[in-house]
Structure 1
Amino acid sequence: MNISSQFIIKNALLSSRLNKRAGNRLSVHGISLTEFLVMEYLYPHSESGISRIELADHLGMSASGVTRLLLPMEKTHLLEKVSNPRDSRQSLVRLTDTGKTLFDDASNSFDHIAADATSKLSEAQQQKAIELFEKLL
């Protein structure tokens, strides 16, 4: 097996394990890791909102997959649809005040999860890994 294949396999295994670990810890807040990632992306755009297509691109999901993901989050009032001022045919999505509060609380838990998961790496190693992943994304 070549080095590229080994890299992808190790990355997939790491992703799977981190997803499980983070998902278990975030479940106390009533959200999954994917829902947390949605909230993390929407948080800085809380006033203006983001299109579902942009969110799908960011998460690496299909538009219909994002719609299915967002529906329960809308029902629990974590986010809301808003009209796009530039295109009335397209709706945007943004965090509600409830969503912002939950994200703030979940972020504290996530920081602890991340610190535990990366405890064997120095800050310089973590920064290098971030730079490498950015090249691949």
Structure 2
Amino acid sequence: MISTELLFLININKLQSVISRKFDSLSVHGLGFNDFVILYILHSSSESRMRRIDLAEKTGLTASGITRLLNPLEKIGLIAREANERDARVSYVVITPTGKKIFEEARLSAEHITKEILSSKKGKSLKMINELLYDLGGNIQ
């Protein structure tokens, strides 16, 4: 038998797979769920830009993992690289105007998918679960 805590984490892992599958419909916007999350973070950040390493930390990915996700987004013009004027070693990932437009369109679809997944859930329960996930490291805001 396994502990309740381990079972909880196994269920979170399964839930992540279920959520990813549900959000596959974002492909009509040319995005996967991780792409959407990256655009959300950039769109929400100050000046719509962020250092690559900060973006990796915010998403819970490694530096190489975030680079693999960013390359296709850059190729299709949703994000761009921007040099730091003061430090040539630092560059920023910036959401482009096209990226903002695609994000806004995809956000509507994502909200619809979210309502389908969570329609029967109560706000108080979601708040408690969200606080727990935040405490565990799910702190994207």
| TM-score, length of structure 1 as denominator length | 0.94
Partner of 1:47: 47
**How many residue pairs are counted as aligned between the two chains?**
136
Matched, 1:66 2:66: yes
Amino acid at match of 2:44: P
What amino acid does structure 2 have at the position aligned with 1:49?
R
The answer for the alignment partner of 2:108 in structure 1 is 108
Distance 1:54 1:98 in 2: 22
Tell me the percent identity.
Answer: 36
- Correspondence list, 1:1-137, <5 A: 1-22=2-23, 24-45=24-45, 47=47, 49-137=49-137
Structure 2 residue identity aligned to 1:98: T
**Structure 1 residue 46 displacement after superposition:** 6.3
Shift in Å at residue 61 of structure 1? 1.1
Deviation at 1:127, TM superposition (A): 1.1
Q: What is the TM-score normalised by the length of structure 2?
A: 0.91
What is the CA-CA distance between 1:128 and the residue it aligns to? 1.2
Gaps of 5+ in 2: none
CA–CA distance in 1 between the matches of 2:86 and 2:113? 39
Give structure 1 stretches of 5+ with no counterpart.
none
Local SS of the residue matching 1:132: helix
